[in-house]
C-alpha cells in the first residue's frame, strides 16, 4: 500500500525551528514532484512548496519564502520541510503530498505544528 | 482573502445535481487548468478532478469538472449523503508562482 508517513511536528516557540520529515513507502519518490500543503484546523488548505524529481527546481509560497526550505533525499525515499523563524501564523497541520493535483495524488497523514510561547 | 472565490455553502437533496463554482482571474484559471478536492472533517483532502475535467482512479463519474474563461465549475450528479463535505478548487497562479486554493464550499445534503 502506498504510504507517506510524516514525523517531526510539535510545539515550538516563535522564532524557533522545526524540521518535518515525510517517508515514502511502496513507491519511488524520485519519480514524482513532491509538495507540502498546510491547513489551519477549520480553515482551507494552503499550498506551501514543491520540489521537482531531482530536487533542482523548488518553489515556495510567498508566505514562507526565505524562512522555509524544501528538500528531498531520493536515496532514502524521503521529503523534508525545514522551517525556520517560525511565526504564530505558521501554526497548522502540515501535509506532504505526492503528485499534488496529478493522477497519482496521495497525501500523508498530516502532522500538527504549533507555534506558541 | 482567497485568490479563488467559491460560494460558502451549497445544498441539495439526494439524487439531485449540484454545481459548485470557482471564480478566478487571468493569472490562474484563465491560463491554467483547475483541480477540485473534497474534504471531510478530520481527513486529508481527496482529489476529485484534475486538469479541469479528469478523474483520478476510484472517483465516481458522478463528479464532473469544467471551466470557461476565468471561472470553473464542479458538478455533482445523483447527490448522495456521503457527498456532504467541503469542496475546494485549486489552480496554479502565474503571478504568485504558486498554487492557490479556493475559499471552500460546504456542501450540505438535506
Q: What's the mean pLDDT in A7-26? A: 97
Q: State residue A37's pLDDT score.
A: 98
B88–A contact, CB cutoff 8 A? yes
Smallest Cα distance from B12 to chain A, Å: 22
Q: What is the per-residue DSSP string for B58-93?
A: T--TTEEEEEETTEEEEEE-S--GGG-EEEEEEEEE
What Cα–Cα distance (Å) separates residue B60 from each residue in A18, A93, A107, B39?
39, 28, 19, 16
Select the residue of A45, A50, A110 nearest B88 (Cβ to Cβ): A45
Percent of chain A at pLDDT above 70? Answer: 100
Q: State residue B82's pLDDT score.
A: 97
Cβ-count burial A72-104 (b if 16+ within 10 Å, e if not): beeeebbbbbebeebeeebbbbbbbbbbbbbee
A89–B contact, CB cutoff 8 A? no
Instruction: Report how far Cα B32 is from the mean position of its chain's Cα atoms.
Output: 15
Smallest Cα distance from B78 to chain A, Å: 24
Chain A contacts in chain B segment 28-87 (CB below 8 A): 35, 37, 39, 44-45, 47, 50, 54, 56-57, 86
The span from the CA of B66 to the CA of A6, in Å, is: 34
B101–A contact, CB cutoff 8 A? yes
Can you give the pLDDT of all 110 residues of chain B as single tens digits?
789 999 999 999 999 999 999 999 999 999 999 999 999 999 999 999 999 999 999 999 999 999 999 999 999 999 999 999 999 999 999 999 999 999 999 999 99
State the sign of the Cα–Cα–Cα–Cα dihedral B97, B44, A99, A67.
positive
Q: State residue B2's pLDDT score.
A: 86
Q: State residue B1's pLDDT score.
A: 78
Q: State residue B103's pLDDT score.
A: 96
Smallest Cα distance from A91 to chain B, Å: 17
The span from the CA of A68 to the CA of A7, in Å, is: 17
How high does pLDDT run on average in chain A?
97
Q: State residue B22's pLDDT score.
A: 98
Render pLDDT for A30-87 as a digit per residue (tens, 0 to 9): 999 999 999 999 999 999 999 999 999 999 999 999 999 999 999 999 999 999 999 9
Amino acid at each position: 500500500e502506498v504510504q507517506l508517513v510524516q514525523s517531526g511536528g510539535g510545539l515550538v516557540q516563535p522564532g524557533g525551528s522545526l524540521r518535518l520529515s515525510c517517508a515514502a513507502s511502496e513507491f519511488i519518490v524520485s519519480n514524482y514532484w513532491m509538495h507540502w500543503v498546510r491547513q489551519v484546523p477549520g480553515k482551507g488548505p494552503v499550498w506551501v512548496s514543491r520540489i521537482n524529481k531531482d530536487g533542482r527546481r523548488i518553489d515556495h509560497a510567498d508566505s514562507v519564502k526565505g524562512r522555509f526550505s524544501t528538500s528531498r533525499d531520493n536515496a532514502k525515499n524521503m521529503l523534508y520541510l525545514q522551517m525556520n523563524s517560525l511565526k504564530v501564523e505558521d501554526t497548522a497541520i502540515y501535509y506532504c503530498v505526492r503528485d499534488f493535483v496529478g493522477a497519482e495524488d496521495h497525501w500523508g497523514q498530516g502532522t500538527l505544528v504549533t507555534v506558541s510561547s | 482573502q482567497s485568490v479563488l472565490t467559491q460560494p460558502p455553502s451549497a445544498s441539495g437533496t439526494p439524487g439531485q445535481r449540484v454545481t459548485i463554482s470557482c471564480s478566478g482571474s487571468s493569472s490562474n484559471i484563465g491560463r491554467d487548468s483547475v483541480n477540485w478536492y473534497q474534504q471531510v472533517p478530520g481527513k486529508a483532502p481527496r482529489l476529485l478532478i484534475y486538469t479541469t475535467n479528469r478523474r483520478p482512479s476510484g472517483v465516481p463519474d458522478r463528479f464532473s469538472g469544467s471551466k470557461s474563461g476565468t471561472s470553473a465549475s464542479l458538478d455533482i450528479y445523483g447527490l448522495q449523503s456521503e457527498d456532504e463535505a467541503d469542496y475546494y478548487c485549486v489552480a496554479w497562479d502565474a503571478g504568485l508562482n504558486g498554487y492557490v486554493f479556493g475559499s471552500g464550499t460546504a456542501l450540505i445534503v438535506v
